[in-house]
With several copies, the nearest count.
Chain A
């Protein structure tokens, strides 16, 4: 295992110390393991709180700041955080108008946030939860824990965060978050696995000519393992899966993210984005906003995920609203 770390046990604490040192706009509570805005809670405004296992940076800590999250709760690498963290985050971030928990749909995340919501409720903090489940690689059936949450998290956090910033109430902020999730679909392909510091060896094995189609952000297996394909074919099979789940008609407007899983060079993400743009153009579906880069990663995994959100006017206006976080910043 080759990692730029001091010890597998201290990765999270060390990284949080780094975040604290690097970003004066953030406040990092190393004890409670939460990242909040340096400015404290926004009185009278809804606070968006997210969290999940670490190893997906910049998600979520990189999205804390005006126009997006109020707080992030990073768990151990690939392990959901604990209720104490979300409770501390809720207490630190609540401006009196309640908090929205943005939760990716994994059993661990759901259970821990559920417990935290109960505890926060006991503390008199109003809590609404937005469950993100956009990964079409896994069907939502009685045979699964439901669809996994992935790239749409970034869209939910940006758009709901913008509405919260404008002073909307708890129900409205939660509702736009749920609408963004409902309008979003993701699909990922891994070219190589990744290694958690604690495990010390790759979560799965892929032969030199193989790729994992429909991989999850923790390296969860996908739909199938296939021979490595050119970027255009990888893009086509990912977008086919997305369009099959949510058909998009010519003229419809979308926000699209081509996201690197951590170990894929940006030049390759642009190669993939060219193929994405072509795929959309051929169908007359419009990409009106986009992100190309590393936004929700899986440590050093090679590969990319594709997220498509069918956006309405309100979503686009909120997308364009100012945001000032370490990983996403414009208009500020």
Chain B
């Protein structure tokens, strides 16, 4: 993944958030406070603006800038969590390109940042439930010598499955946890936006 592709990825996430804003908000209104779509859209719109005219030295710079902007613009739970994810991922990637293994390691650092901040573990019905299988799939593919496009496709599929698999879970973190057993039967909005993020990565890297 080069700088150009990284920019395209982030721009594509912004487009995806525009497109899926209402769906994410609808999911968040079932078990949260009906703002996840708006939050993500506001954040990535700001990211696109921040990247405009920005001259990054490396792939990581794009992601750090993305994370920093998300932290500054989103608020709520998703802002610091996704912001940290992109910042921590970006900090690992100093070069002008990142290969599959480098990207896998960087994304793992991103997830570690999310978990350090939010203390969620898989099964808590959060974005971690999409991030974890996505990064496992990505890492496994990378270690097996697959290229980034293939790894990203597998990660996207795993994230989508992970998001769907949050449906039966009872939330233990975030606003949804207040619902108790009533949080089951609904898909987690953050896990869903994570799936969108990996789907766009797969599309951008598709040869």
Contacts and interface: CB of A to CB of B under 8 A. Distances in A.
**A and B from one complex:** yes
Interface of A: 53, 75-84, 106-108, 111-112, 114-115, 138, 142-145, 148, 196, 198-199, 203-204, 216, 218-221
B143 interface: no
A53 B33 CA distance: 11
B35 A83 contact: no
Contacts of B118: 107, 111
A108 B170 contact: no
19 contacts: A53-B75, A79-B75, A79-B76, A80-B79, A82-B73, A83-B72, A84-B71, A106-B175, A107-B118, A111-B81, A143-B172, A145-B174, A145-B175, A145-B177, A145-B178, A198-B34, A199-B35, A203-B29, A221-B179
Contacts of A79: 33, 35, 38-39, 74-76
Contacts of A106: 77, 175
Contacts of A107: 77, 118, 173-175
A141 to B, nearest CB: 9
A194 to B, nearest CB: 10
Given A82-B71, A203-B34, A108 B76 contact: yes
A196 B172 contact: no
The size class of the interface chain B forms with chain A is 20 to 34
Interface of B: 25, 29, 33-35, 38-39, 42, 71-81, 117-118, 170, 172-175, 177-180, 182
A221 B176 CA distance: 9
B175 to A, nearest CB: 6
Contacts, number: 107
A236 to B, nearest CB: 23
A143 B79 contact: no
A81 B42 CA distance: 13
A142 B78 CA distance: 21
Nearest to A216: B178
A138 B75 contact: no
A-B residue pairs, 8 tightest by C-beta: A108-B76, A111-B80, A107-B77, A108-B77, A199-B34, A144-B177, A218-B33, A198-B38
Contacts of B180: 143-144
A87 to B, nearest CB: 10
A81 B75 contact: yes
Contacts of A84: 71-72
A219 B75 contact: no
B178 A76 contact: no
A194 B179 CA distance: 18
B178 A144 contact: yes
A141 B201 CA distance: 37
Question: Residue among A76, A78, A106, A107 with the most chain B CB within 10 A?
Answer: A107
A115 B177 CA distance: 22
A42 to B, nearest CB: 28
Which of B74, B78, B182 has the largest count of A CB atoms less than 10 A from its CB? B74
B35 A78 contact: yes
B80 A83 contact: yes
Contacts of B78: 108
A218 B117 contact: no
A218 B175 CA distance: 10
A142 B75 contact: no
A198 B39 CA distance: 10
Nearest to B39: A79
Contact of B178 (A108, A115, A220): A220
A144 B124 CA distance: 10
Contacts of B74: 79, 82
Contacts of B75: 53, 75-76, 79-82, 108, 112
A78 B29 CA distance: 12
Contacts of A82: 71-75, 79
Contacts of B178: 138, 144-145, 148, 216, 220-221
Nearest to B72: A84
Contact of A108 (B29, B72, B79, B177): B79
A138 B179 CA distance: 9
Contacts of A80: 75-77, 79
Contacts of A142: 172
